């Protein structure tokens, strides 16, 4: 979204228009002023992971990216996934009230000189708009900017530190189906960008989410040359070659608009030179037949090259191909090894697959404790299948201490994402009063939703339940199911 283009005239205007920071922030030095901002500091071992329930009062979770550039305090029920084409990007999805919000948060290699945060924060508004606005319009395809503003990132008044100023833009998406809100904060190590989409008639919901949830992390204050590499990511040195990045980004733009011939032309030289991001994307193109004849053997070859250099997505994809004998000879043991490598780097589905293997003894010895451990890691990242399976282990007391209330918690999180088995299992718990108060109407609602999601066991159980409820209860359950589905399964009984 943000091009790394030069802005020499703008840079001169910034230098001439810079405000004095000492008086603004009440500090004796610029270094002290930087520390006055409301920033988050996550220890290296906590980065790149979701830390659940960090705020018991709010019930939310916390995520700090591996490089320590930004932190996101996820509201309850929100989910997170890694972006396919951004080494330092993440996507968040959830609801603000009755409105759905989808956000992308990423760090861009766009720096306007070696400045402190204080100096960047003191940049006049018109200079910031001049620098970023046209690039935003070009990349989003907006016809015009409908709203310009600023936000003060903070923590709801619980801190006396100076909040971080963020510049915002808003406009209707080119297709008219969403309202886009963009927020940008410049920091010494990177420019951080948040793009949120909401319904066209819900234009004011994204900014409160950004203001409440987004934090600048202390790693963003450290210039790139002085900032240590993120823990456990040695392969990123190959992915982050400065000279490769513009070419790769152009390839991704071509890929996203369906111009696979251009994407292939740009990616192939990078892949042959050992760029794991390019290698992984070539693997995807051969795997899916995008712009080339589908060739699973070629896909496996490129996945293996990228996987060997530490690319998480390629490790997972290679595991899938080995597990199913696609493009390579089937090998459960090696598949499990690649799943494990991806899982250890935080890949949620790989964590789930690793749990499945320990649960079923596929390629490894059966170990319910290990299964529960990997299910939990995946479940805490919002992966619905893992949440359901972890609930099953709590319900049975396998690998964990039996705890029906804990089972209900995980079933409900999966059910709220539309997972049919999670909905069915939650319904059974509510029907029998296990881990929650007995509620046959709510139970029928969830089992009905599971049946609509093609959960076979739910269809048979629903027929039996229909004979046990009064007509009034059956009608109420149906009404609640319709309302719950309309709300995307959130805020239901």
Same domain as 209, residue 246: no
Do 363 and 335 touch, CB atoms closer than 8 A? yes
Same domain as 144, residue 47: yes
| pLDDT range class, residue 256, cuts 50, 70, 90 | confident
Same domain as 163, residue 303: no
Residue 159 has what pLDDT?
54
Instruction: Give the alpha-carbon dihedral of 432, 436, 438, 444, to 10 degrees.
Output: -80
| pLDDT range class, residue 160, cuts 50, 70, 90 | low
Residue 237, CA distances (Å) to 189, 268, 301, 362 in order: 16, 19, 21, 34
Q: What is the mean pLDDT of the chain?
A: 82
| CA–CA gap between residue 236 and residue 95 (Å, rounded) | 33
Strands 50-55 and 179-186 turn out to be unpaired
Q: Does 465 reside within a domain?
A: yes
Out of 221, 249, 272, a domain closes at: 221
Residue 218 has what pLDDT?
82
Helices (H), 89-230: 117-121, 125-140, 206-213
Q: Is the pLDDT of residue 374 over 90?
A: yes
Same domain as 310, residue 255: yes
pLDDT, mean of residues 455-459: 93
pLDDT, mean of residues 480-487: 91
Q: Does 451 reside within a domain?
A: yes
Tokens of 295: 């060739």
Same domain as 106, residue 36: yes
Percent of the chain past pLDDT 90, that is, above it, reads: 45
CATH of the domain at 94: 2.60.120.1690
Same domain as 167, residue 61: yes
Q: Does 163 reside within a domain?
A: yes
How big is the CA angle at 165 (ends 159 and 167), to the nearest 5 degrees?
A: 145
Please indicate whether residue 316 or residue 47 has the higher confidence score (pLDDT): 316
Contacts of 190 (CB under 8 A, 6+ apart): 69, 88, 107, 108, 109, 110, 111, 220, 224
Residue 55 has what pLDDT?
60
Domain range holding 260? 236-345
Same domain as 50, residue 171: yes
Same domain as 305, residue 431: no
CATH of the domain at 286: 1.25.40.10
Same domain as 246, residue 161: no
Same domain as 248, residue 209: no
Residue 58 has what pLDDT?
54
Q: Does 256 reside within a domain?
A: yes
Q: Does 393 reside within a domain?
A: no
Domain count, the chain: 3
pLDDT, mean of residues 4-15: 25
Q: Does 462 reside within a domain?
A: yes
Out of 198, 221, 244, a domain closes at: 221
Q: Does 361 reside within a domain?
A: no
| CA–CA gap between residue 233 and residue 102 (Å, rounded) | 27
Residue 86 has what pLDDT?
43
| CA–CA gap between residue 412 and residue 419 (Å, rounded) | 9
Q: Is the pLDDT of residue 247 over 90?
A: no
Q: Is the pLDDT of residue 371 over 90?
A: yes
pTM over 0.85: no
pLDDT, mean of residues 255-265: 88
Residue 33 has what pLDDT?
60
pLDDT, mean of residues 267-294: 93
- For 147, other C-beta atoms within 10 Å of its C-beta total 13
Same domain as 249, residue 199: no
| pLDDT range class, residue 251, cuts 50, 70, 90 | confident
Residue 35 has what pLDDT?
67
Tokens of 70: 């930004």
- Each residue of 387-433: pLDDT tens digit? 999 999 999 999 999 999 999 999 999 998 899 999 999 999 999 99
Q: Does 398 reside within a domain?
A: no
Out of 311, 328, 345, a domain closes at: 345
| CA–CA gap between residue 437 and residue 451 (Å, rounded) | 22
Q: Is the pLDDT of residue 475 over 80?
A: yes
Same domain as 252, residue 115: no
């Amino acid at each position: 979204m943000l091009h790394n283009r030069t802005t020499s005239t703008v840079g001169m205007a910034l230098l001439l228009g810079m405000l004095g920071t000492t008086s603004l922030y009440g500090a004796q030095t610029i270094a002290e002023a930087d520390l006055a901002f409301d920033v988050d500091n996550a220890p290296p071992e906590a980065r790149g992971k979701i830390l659940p329930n960090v705020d018991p009062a709010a019930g939310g979770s916390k995520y700090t990216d591996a490089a320590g550039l930004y932190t996101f305090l996820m509201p309850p029920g929100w989910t997170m996934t890694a972006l396919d084409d951004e080494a330092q990007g993440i996507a968040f999805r959830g609801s603000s009230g009755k409105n759905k919000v989808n956000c992308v948060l990423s760090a861009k290699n766009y720096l306007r000189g070696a400045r402190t945060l204080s100096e960047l924060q003191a940049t006049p508004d018109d200079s910031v708009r001049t620098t970023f606005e046209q690039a935003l319009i070009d990349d989003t395809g907006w016809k015009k900017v409908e709203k310009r503003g600023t936000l003060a990132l903070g923590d709801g008044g619980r801190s006396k530190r100076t909040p971080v100023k963020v510049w915002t833009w808003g406009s209707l998406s080119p297709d008219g189906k969403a309202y886009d809100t963009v927020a940008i904060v410049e920091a010494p190590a990177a420019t951080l960008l948040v793009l949120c989409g909401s319904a066209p008639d819900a234009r004011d919901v994204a900014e409160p989410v950004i203001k409440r949830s987004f934090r600048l992390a202390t790693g963003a204050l450290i210039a790139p040359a002085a900032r240590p590499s993120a823990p456990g990511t040695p392969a990123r040195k190959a992915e982050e070659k400065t000279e490769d990045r513009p070419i790769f980004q152009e390839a991704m733009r071509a890929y996203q608009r369906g111009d696979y011939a251009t994407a292939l032309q740009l990616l192939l030289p990078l892949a042959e030179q050992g760029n794991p991001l390019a290698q992984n994307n070539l693997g995807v193109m051969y795997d899916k037949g995008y712009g080339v004849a589908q060739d699973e053997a070629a896909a496996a070859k490129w996945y293996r090259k990228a996987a060997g250099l530490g690319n998480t997505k390629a490790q997972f994809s290679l595991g899938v191909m080995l597990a199913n004998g696609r493009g390579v000879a089937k090998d459960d043991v090696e598949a499990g090894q690649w799943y494990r490598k991806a899982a250890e780097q935080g890949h949620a589905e790989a964590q789930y697959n690793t749990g499945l293997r320990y649960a079923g003894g596929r390629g490894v010895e059966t170990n319910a404790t290990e299964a529960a451990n990997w299910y939990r890691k995946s479940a805490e990242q919002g992966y619905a299948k893992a949440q359901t399976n972890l609930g099953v282990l709590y319900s049975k007391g396998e690998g964990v201490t039996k705890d029906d209330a804990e089972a209900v918690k995980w079933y409900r999180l999966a059910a709220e994402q539309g997972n049919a088995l999670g909905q069915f299992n939650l319904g059974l718990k509510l029907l029998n009063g296990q881990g929650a108060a007995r509620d046959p109407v709510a139970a029928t609602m969830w089992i009905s939703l599971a049946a609509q999601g093609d959960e076979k066991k739910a269809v048979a159980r629903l027929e039996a339940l229909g004979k046990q409820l009064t007509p009034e209860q059956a009608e109420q359950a149906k009404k609640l199911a319709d309302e719950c589905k309309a709300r995307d399964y959130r805020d239901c009984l």
